[in-house]
Homo-oligomer: A and B are copies of this chain.
Amino acid sequence: MSLITSEKTIERLSLYRRILMRLRDDGETVVFSHQLAVPAGITPAQVRRDIMNLGCNGTPRSGYRIKELLTGITEVFDTPQSQRAILVGIGRLGLALLAHFSGRWRWLHIHAAFDSDPAKSSGVISGCHCYPVDQLAVVVREWNIGIGIITVPANAAQSVADQMCAAGVTGLLNFTSVRLNVPRSVFVENVDLTASFEKVAYFARRHEAAGVTG
């Protein structure tokens, strides 16, 4: 298939894969576009376009073979070698992400974690070796690591990003409220949990005040 450049498409494929895995685990072999559209919260037409772009056979009428769709999506995401990430900032959120993502996928995992606090930067957490942050460049180069996850306090975020980029990381998953300044060669995805929580709180209040009924 052709290269996908749209972030939204990649997000949808990631979601389809998890829905398809659940269907497969339930014993299903064929899926119809609406079965992906409803749980993904999009239109069946969008699902069919995405499937067409994957180059998978099947028709809206007879359905699509789940196994073939999973293979198609796997070809987009997976690499011959598993992709490795590092995480910097072994605080509460960092620990949770290590546990949450630990051993979850064959194709993508957090290889090492770093912290500037000596008390946190040794040993193994959720199967992941911990190091002092001054070992970052060595580990990134030795293990050919492409992805960096940043869970440090805001005032350390840019410096950590700089070290990751200098060592050769090309994708950052940034959980801080700092919008990072990085080379054009590096992709950044910001996850702002505080903004999400405050947004829900704001609109929950508005909806309550409006007394909208379902």
A contacts, CB < 8 Å to B: 3-4, 7, 10-11, 14-15, 18-19, 22, 38-41, 76-77, 79, 83, 85, 92-93, 95-97, 99-101, 108, 146-147, 149, 154-155, 165, 169-173, 177-179, 181-187, 189-208, 211-214
14 chain-A/chain-B pairs, Cβ below 8 angstroms: A10-B203, A11-B192, A11-B195, A18-B154, A38-B179, A77-B201, A108-B198, A146-B201, A171-B205, A171-B207, A185-B211, A187-B203, A189-B196, A191-B193
Q: Specify the chain B residue showing the minimal Cβ separation from A154.
A: B22
> Would you give the shortest CB distance from A193 to chain B, in whole angstroms?
7
Q: Which of A39, A194, A198, A214 has the most CB of B within 10 A?
A: A198
A100–B108 CB distance below 8 A: no
Chain B residues in 8 Å Cβ range of A85:
197, 200-201
Q: Specify the chain B residue showing the minimal Cβ separation from A157.
A: B39
Q: When A93-B96, A184-B213, A200-B187 are in contact, do A22 and B155 touch as well, CB less than 8 Å? A: yes
A41–B100 CB distance below 8 A: no
Q: Which of A15, A155, A171 has the most CB of B within 10 A?
A: A171
B10–A198 CB distance below 8 A: yes
Chain B residues in 8 Å Cβ range of A207:
170-171, 185-187
A212–B198 CB distance below 8 A: no
Chain B residues in 8 Å Cβ range of A208:
146, 170
Q: When A11-B192, A146-B205, A191-B193 are in contact, do A77 and B198 touch as well, CB less than 8 Å? A: yes
A197–B92 CB distance below 8 A: no
Chain B residues in 8 Å Cβ range of A189:
196, 199-200, 203
Q: Which 3 A-B pairs have the closest CB atoms?
A: A183-B214, A96-B96, A171-B204
User: Could you say which of B83, B95, B179, B211 contacts A201, with CB atoms under 8 Å apart?
Assistant: B83
Bound-state Cα–Cα, A11 to B201, Å: 12
A191–B191 CB distance below 8 A: yes
Q: Specify the chain B residue showing the minimal Cβ separation from A180.
A: B41
A200–B173 CB distance below 8 A: yes
